[in-house]
Chains A and B, each alone.
Chain A
Amino acid sequence: MKIRIPWLGVITTLVCLMVISPFLVIVPVSFTSARYLSFPPQGFSLQWYQKILDRPEFTDAFLFSLQLAAVTAVVATLIGTLAALAIHKYNVPGKGFVTTLLMSPLTVPSIIIGIAALLFFTRIGLGGSFAGLLLAHILIAVPYVVRLTLTGLSSFDYTLERAAYIMGAKPFNVFWDITLPLLRPAILSGLIFSFLTSFDNVTVSLFLVAPDTTTLPLAIFSYMQETLDPLVASISSVVILLSLVFIFLLERVYGLDRLFGTNTQSH
């Protein structure tokens, strides 16, 4: 009898290893006591974490990215949820067309969205402004929120709303006590996902940041093109930790497979 090698399992393990390997090397490297990137990482020290604090360009960029992502998340979730409600609840004529239109920014490469925004914003005097950057981030986050909310609404039970109306509830109370709580998972995941979309973005920000205020991924991107040292690893580790918190939150609230299951189909 010959030994059967579970090929599928082996390849799957390798692919899983491949996609997480960047993080498996970054975290150990960030604790190195060496002054350069070395393998294997030497000793243990927090020096590269301390050095982040001496670098206002990174700490400022970090705070700026957090603010930008937070504002983007709130505004995009608001706009996207309202649009999804309009599509699903009120049966707008040309529903399919409206949905396609709202999703259309996803079908255009973000580098082109960035270029279009830069050239047009410069023309109308918004070039290099916070408003321009924020608007572009909102644009790329809204389609995801619309899709998440539409998925959430597909299992929405309208009889609950109708029952509340029949019992004499006011429209606002129906919305506040029935509609909103039922939509909470979709809204919460919209918030988290648009936060991450904005916080991770490079390709759109690249064209729209002002020279003195840059986002964190962009600061890392520029720094990496000049120097490669463990400082990048320590900053990256901080971002990885932060992202992991949000990823686990998203998994609890919504489920990552659902998030991406719908994601791939519309492309």
Chain B
Amino acid sequence: MHIAEGYLPWEHAAAWGVASAPFVVHGARALTREVRDRPENTLLLGASGAFSFVLSALKIPSVTGSCSHPTGTGLGAVLFRPPIMAVLGTITLLFQALLLAHGGLTTLGANVFSMAIVGPWAGYGAYRLTRSLLDRRGGTMPLDVAVFAGAFVADLSTYCVTSVQLALAFPDPDSGFPGALAKFGGIFSLTQIPLAISEGLLTVLVVRLLRQSSRGDLIRLGVLTDARPVREEEKSK
């Protein structure tokens, strides 16, 4: 769930817009380069953006008795690195702001910062960290666990940033920023935990299916480094 149209003071809205712009411009360059230099990846690139489209359209009930939606940015961050997701996430946010009155144009900068920048980078960091810890074990487990960690962190961190953004703009009258952070965190981050687990699982599912259908792509993207994991899986069939 993004910050609704008009619900950030204009100074905050402008500041988040300025903070986000360089990432999106850099991402647009990275995207153009990717499409030009590696046209064989374009289909998978489109599907990564489409995955974010699907997941951010699904409002799912959560344990807090409210609904929110996943972000779907973890998959693209793992496959194509975070800069490209800055663009694909922005496209998703623009679609929702223009057609669905969900999120908004004035809050676009803030929402891009949380969903298209911090989410993908935090998720990518979690993915790389998990791989560096587990890769020596071999087999398919390290990749699945790392992809889960990446998608989970990308999803959850997005909404933690949203909570911080709102707490900065609307501190609690009595307890100030910490009180407001607890309040908005309870609304966004707590609600998001089961959804982030779901997103992690769905992203693992997509990567598992990709490993069966297009292992060459995953090797080319550096997600799979050797042929061994799939051979082991085929043996166990």
A binds B: no
